[in-house]
Chain A
Amino acid sequence: MTEESDIPVVEVRGGLLGFPELTRFALVKMNNEGLVYRLQSLESEAVNFVVVPATSFFPTYAPIVDDEVAERFNLASGADVLVLLIVTLGESFKQSTVNLMAPLLLDPVQQIAEQVIIENEDLSVRAPLLAA
């Protein structure tokens, strides 16, 4: 049994696009190495997301966020913010995709997150998780 208190609760500010009313999520570690997390809504049981840390899968991915986002996350003062990618599970593992255009920024200390839109037309909302 996992103690409920071991699972961090994060506030997704503004919700995710399409789910503006859902802001409280549990971040459940699904993989020992911390490569896969489940983001479970605490307000709607049917809604959960799979997220993976961007750096593990896309080491060269360096999204540029706008100044206001940078300010909200105190990026200038060196805040430790994780970039998570939302996964769409495919029929098979290899068909799974990630959303590179709208990653989730997570501040694990403040336990706040936000889905940000990267204004770069080269980024896909359905990029293969693993290059063939």
Chain B
Amino acid sequence: MLVLSRKAGESIVIGDSITVNVLEIRGDLIRIGIDAPRNIKVHRHEVYEAIEAANKEAATASVDAITDFAQAVGEIPASRLEP
């Protein structure tokens, strides 16, 4: 891993199109600004991990289980659902 030291107001360039700016350092909190092309998705790591875990958990339902689920949804009283 490349390790660099930066001060507030300094930045790092990654490749030709990504810039990471250290905006502010206050106590143990660092504010970072990221300029990247729109096809590069930037997320906080814990958010990314939580969604990836949820997707993986959701990804392998059997067709039978899904059919049962669809039937149960069909039995929900209409008053509990928006049209």
Chain A residues in contact with chain B, CB under 8 A? 14, 16-19, 30-33, 35-36, 38, 46-50, 52, 55-57, 59, 68, 86-89, 93, 96, 99, 101-102, 115, 117, 125-126, 130
Chain B residues in contact with chain A, CB under 8 A? 38-39, 41, 43, 47-48, 50-61, 63, 65-70, 72-74, 76, 80-82
Question: What are 6 inter-chain pairs, A to B, with CB distance below 8 A?
Answer: A16-B59, A17-B51, A36-B70, A48-B59, A49-B58, A117-B41
Q: Please report the number of residue pairs spanning A and B whose Cβ atoms sit closer than 8 angstroms.
A: 100
Name which residue of chain A comes closest to B48, CB basis.
A17
- Say what secondary structure dominates the interface of chain A: loop
The 8 Å CB contact of B54, one of A48, A55, A125, A130, is: A125
